[in-house]
Amino acid sequence: MRMTYREALRTALTEALSADPRVFLMGEDVGRYGGAYAASKGLLEQFGPDRVRDTPLSESAFVGAGIGAALGGMRPIVEVMTVNFSLLALDQVVNSAATLRHMSGGQLSVPLVVRMATGGGRQVAAQHSHSLEGWYAHVPGIRVVAPATAHDARWMLPAALREPDPVFIFEHAMLYPEEGEVGEEPGPLPLFAAAIRRPGRDVTVIAHGGSVGKALAAAEQLATEGIEAEVLDLRSLRPLDDATILESVRRCHRAVVVDEGWRSGSLSAEIASRISEGAFFELDAPVARVCSAEVPIPYPKHLEDTALPQPDGICAAVRGVLQPAQAAGAKA
């Protein structure tokens, strides 16, 4: 069945609220307004204000309330309007949600799901456009996923609700209107496994969330040049699926990591390091990275587009890692 990413999320939320009375949704504008991105439209009328709760504009307060509810046996789904605003709740996340299982010796668990929009491309300026999911992937004690397809948007939520520990779901804001096929079952991949979205032989292009579509567009362009790029969708950012990443790199012998976060201290740096540690002697070229420019994301469209990873930049990075092989072929 084809549906938009937004509709897939709404389907997952409806099912979760219908199936388990412990599940409730709360966040800014999730009720009467229907959600900042319309993912919860109609749920207030269907389930009522006890199950779909509008909150004050205080991320620390409502994320903390979600932690308390999870400790009390509920299954809260907390929606944060945008990742930039989630920084106001970092104390709750790092010092409470992520630590309580460890600090209690396993006596406590926090089965909390936090959903938030991430990423740029909508011309809403720097305070609403950054990709900070790599910051969360740095924190032990939580799990971090990034659905890139409508199918994953539909099926990652129920999987996350089954986890005993906090799961943070990062939804790229440009994906909400995108359509895709959604299966009636989640499929064979577990929540934390990476997926090969396009097979190839010459280079592995590793991406997540909103960058997966750009990586696929780049692969289409590269195919016209005789370059077969394998596109790997991380899906899970913590834990990373090292086995699938390294298997792909060992097969293709080159890697390009696409990350809408900033290059310095980024998730792309962690992935490049793991590839170097686990598949160094399989590499025919250094791992390349395509990241956002090291500036606050600009408002004007031409500057925003320039600051963010784009298919042309991915193609250029792929050609760069292939140059040694092409030069050797020319000499031969």
- Residues with catalytic function: 59, 128
> Which of these, 125, 180, 153, 138, lies nearest to 303 by C-alpha position?
125
The sign of the torsion formed by the CA atoms of 58, 60, 62, 65 equals negative
Cis amide bond preceding 166, omega within 30: no
In whole angstroms, give the CA distance from residue 66 to residue 85: 16
In whole angstroms, give the CA distance from residue 86 to residue 94: 12
Place of tokens 């668990």: 109
Tokens (6 digits) for 144: 């971090």
Give φ, ψ of 59 to 5 degrees. -60, -40
Amino acid at 241: D
Q: What value does the CA radius of gyration of the chain take, rounded to a whole number of Å?
A: 20
In whole angstroms, give the CA distance from residue 252 to residue 192: 23
Strand order of the β-sheet with 23-27 is: 52-54, 23-27, 75-80, 113-118, 167-172, 143-145, 236-238
DSSP collapsed to 3 states, 182-233: CCCCCCCCCCCCCEEEECCCCEEEEECCCHHHHHHHHHHHHHCCCCCEEEEE
CB atoms within 10 A of CB 118: 27
Tokens (6 digits) for 190: 């577990």
In whole angstroms, give the CA distance from residue 150 to residue 2: 9
